[in-house]
Amino acid sequence: ILEGNARSFDISTPLGAFHYATFLCLTARWYAPELKNKLEAVKNAFLEKYDKNDKSLRWSMRHQIEELEKGKGKAA
């Protein structure tokens, strides 16, 4: 899945790195207040899931491999 209007940056060049840094600064300026409000709205629910080691928060490759291995054991 790819965002249709996603920007890409070549940070291997000084100009590309500058464009990326500028993009981050502008994004922070435009969206920081809105993002802060949205994060505050879900903070408590996230912390509850985190404290319970909720399965939905597992996203690392290690976790994915563990889940695949568990699935293989159930299928056998």
For 38, phi then psi, to 5°, come to -65, -40
pLDDT digits (tens, 9 = 90+) for 33-48: 998 999 999 999 999 9
Hey, what are 33's tokens?
């207040």
The b-or-e profile of 5-19 (16+ CB within 10 A means b, else e) is eeeebeeeeeeeeee
**The pLDDT of residue 74:** 67
| pTM of this structure | 0.46
Print the domain residue range for 62. Answer: 14-75
Does 6 fall in a domain? no
Does 47 fall in a domain? yes
When divided into structural domains, the chain yields a total of 1
